[in-house]
Amino acid sequence: MNQNKILFERSQKVIPGGVNSPVRAFKSVGGTPIFFKKGLGSRLWDEEGREYIDYINSWGPMILGHAHPEVLKAVQSASFDSLSFGAPTARELEMAEVLVKLVPSIEQVRLVSSGTEATMSAIRVARGFTKRDTLVKFEGCYHGHADALLVKAGSGLLTFGEPSSAGVPADVAKHTLTLPYNDEEALNALFKEKGDTLAAVIIEPVVGNMNLIIPHMSFLKMLRELCTKHGAVLIFDEVMTGFRVALGGAQSLYGVIPDLTTLGKVIGGGLPVGAFGGRRDIMQCLAPIGPVYQAGTLSGNPAAVAAGLATLKLVQAPHFYEELTAKTKLLVEGLMKAAHTFNIKFSAQSVGGMFGLYFSEKAPSSFDEIMKSNREAFNQFFHHMLTSGFYFGPSAFEAGFVSHAHSDEDIRRTVAAAQAFFQVLK
């Protein structure tokens, strides 16, 4: 019997759904999830020893590829001194200094252990700073699993949100408003109606959680102007895009500066690290000097920070992001050319080292548009590529990732396998 099936059957007895994060279950695409045991560079190997070219990269962190020797050396060195102190270390100070130096909007920063912690804490400090309760988020954006963020749109444009998960109290959800992404008219109407009551607006400046959606520049600029005018805190969730699309994140790419930024994934180099930071006057609201409480026993964990520091040092190499962007464009352009050879309704786009694949005529720019794509065709594509040795995200609603370790030959092989699928699909 297939080793992955054996492990999945065992897992379902002791782990809900057999997985520790829902998208891993292959529920969207069908089939049995793959259990991995090794990664190196652009490659993964499963428990049966089968090799794959990886386009998930642990959902973004492995920007250097798997098991980079300098990152492993840094983690090993830190681990010999102790895995945790629960007290200040020079490494976490160094990490804070690097983040302040590299991210345009960050004047002060606090380290945490996950992206969810970062966004949850950023929202709390924004509410404490403004002394307001209402949060605005955008349909299709994911900011972690804190109660206030698991909210879907209400029945009307300006209605308060409704819980999108069991266990989220309606009294919590009512403080969150949800708007359509890239919709300037809806954004303007909301601020006209409720602007002076809003504590914060949180947004993925490049969306990666309903597949890759690129923002309209006029939309982002309007958002910045409205938040400034009405005194609402603008939070950029760059947990995914930070150090993934550019050295200074999406904010440096688009020149729109938020009040607070949340980070994760790449800054941990594959280990659990998150951070939130921004304007000094807002961050000064945090305990122990301010009234907003936030804490974490393992925040600034020495081994995790060592992995992050080694990663952040390497991504600052000359032309790193130009090369990563070029590799990613080579992939998406190759896939589009292959699909169009057979007149398949397919589109793709990329920003830095992130990409999106859609079985639709043009790349979507909103949640409604992505929902109209051909998900069944994507599911067939996913399984064809998996069987052929290429590991893409097991959902039509997730962005993909290229690492610096991917070679032109990796991409050529990927495009060739996809072309074989497009030919059969036709």
**Residues designated catalytic:** 142, 237, 265
Whether the bond between 288 and the residue before it is cis, its omega within 30 degrees of 0, is yes
Element (H, E) at 203: strand 198-203
Residues of 43-59 as b/e, b for ≥16 C-beta within 10 angstroms? bbebeeeeebbbbbbbb
Q: How far is CA 400 from CA 17, 61, 205, in A?
A: 24, 12, 16
CA distances in angstroms from 315 to 121, 186, 294, listed in the order given: 27, 38, 30
Beta strands of 94-189 (E only): which ranges?
Answer: 108-112, 134-138, 151-152, 162-163, 176-179
Give the single-character DSSP code of 83: S
CA distance 241 to 102: 14
Q: What are phi and psi of 261, to 5 degrees?
A: -130, 135
CB count in 10 Å sphere of residue 230: 16
- Give the integer Cα–Cα distance in Å for 286 and 125: 7
DSSP category for residue 291:
S
The answer to whether 195 touches 182, Cβ cutoff 8 Å, is no
Question: How far apart are alpha carbons 314 and 62 in whole angstroms?
Answer: 12
Stated length of the chain: 426
What is the spatial distance between Cα 38 and Cα 19, in angstroms, rounded to a whole number?
A: 18
**Burial class of 105 by CB neighbour count within 10 A (0 to 12, 13 to 18, 19+):** buried
